[in-house]
Amino acid sequence: MKIKLLFILFTVFFITAQAQDYIFGKVTSEENSEIAGVTVINIRTDERIITNRDGHFMISGRSGDELRFVKTGYERASRKINNESISTPVNVTLVRSATPIAEVEVKKEITEDIKIDSKNLNSPRKVQKLKNELAVYMTRKSAPSVLAPRAGEFVQPVTKGIFSLGKVKNKWDDIDLLNYLQNALGTAFFEDLKIEKAQIQHFILYILRTGFERKNILKYGYVAEADLNRFRSAVLNRISAYKAP
């Protein structure tokens, strides 16, 4: 008899412990507006329901369960259910998730200063734009009178360099032009292009020997501003090939 009574009591206790209740509640925003379409999940049972257009929901559960609230555009929220939650509505406020701001590209104008532009226009597309604009400028040829030395201007004497490709009557050879370009452009120009100081002269000779037109420069021993711009353009065109393994 005692065993039968104990069995009945155990059965009642088990049924009571496993009994499911219904949990009611409402989901609103920070502005106290009802949010429809929120997914409410009972983590223990994996039951899922959706809030109605007024933000209300009803889901089965019991004390100790955890409910999770999920909605696109809002931070997730969780609520632990206790005995009080069974008898009173569970009101949840969802907070909007942060919206990333699209990156805005600040475009910089061409300054015609190669030192500045080589820093600002550091992507292939921007460098190409700079090269195209310089190419248009380069199409305008300079008259020989412009390239001739000016009255009273110092002309560097011809030296016998092993790299000279000019004729004897030329006032300069490649070494003269190399020294002029290095002094005129300055060390900073080449260092900005990641050319080490010890490699500057080698790099200049590389540009000269890969098609840079300098016939009149060597003939008259004079470098015009247009020639400097042509050299800068050649540098931008061939820097990648020079650095390639």
Q: What angle do CA 63, 67, 72 make, to 5 degrees?
A: 170
Domain for residue 206, yes or no?
A: yes
Tell me, what's the pLDDT at 13? 46
Same domain as 160, residue 239: yes
Shared domain for 139 and 221, answered yes or no, is: yes
Please say if the pLDDT value at position 186 is more than 80.
yes
Residues 70 and 151 in one domain: no
Selection from 61-65, 109-113, 124-128, 156-160 with the highest mean pLDDT: 61-65
CA distance 216 to 222: 8
| Residue 196, pLDDT above cutoff 70 | yes
- Say yes or no: 90 and 136 in one domain: no
> Is the same domain home to 132 and 75?
no
Residue 213 in this model has a pLDDT that exceeds 90:
yes
Within a domain: 200: yes
Per-residue exposure over 22-40, b if at least 16 CB sit within 10 Å of its own CB, e if not: ebbbbbbbeeeeebeebeb
162 and 134 inside one domain: yes
Side chain identity, residue 65: D
Kindly state the average pLDDT of the residues 172-189: 91
Same domain for 90 and 153?
no
User: What CA–CA distance (Å, rounded) separates 112 from 197?
Assistant: 24
pLDDT confidence of residue 114:
63
Quick one: pLDDT at residue 5? 45
Residues 169 and 67 occupy one common structural domain:
no
* DSSP state at residue 151: T
Q: Which structural domain, as residue segments, surrounds residue 190?
A: 114-243
Residue 68 lies in a domain: yes
Percent of the chain clearing pLDDT 70 (strictly above): 65
Q: Are residues 86 and 120 in the same domain?
A: no
Q: Are residues 127 and 211 in the same domain?
A: yes
Determine the Cα–Cα distance for residues 61 and 40; give it in Å rounded to an integer. Answer: 12
Q: How confident is the model at residue 162 (pLDDT cuts 50, 70, 90)?
A: very low
pTM of the predicted structure, to 2 decimals: 0.37
Of residues 67 and 129, more confidently modeled: 67
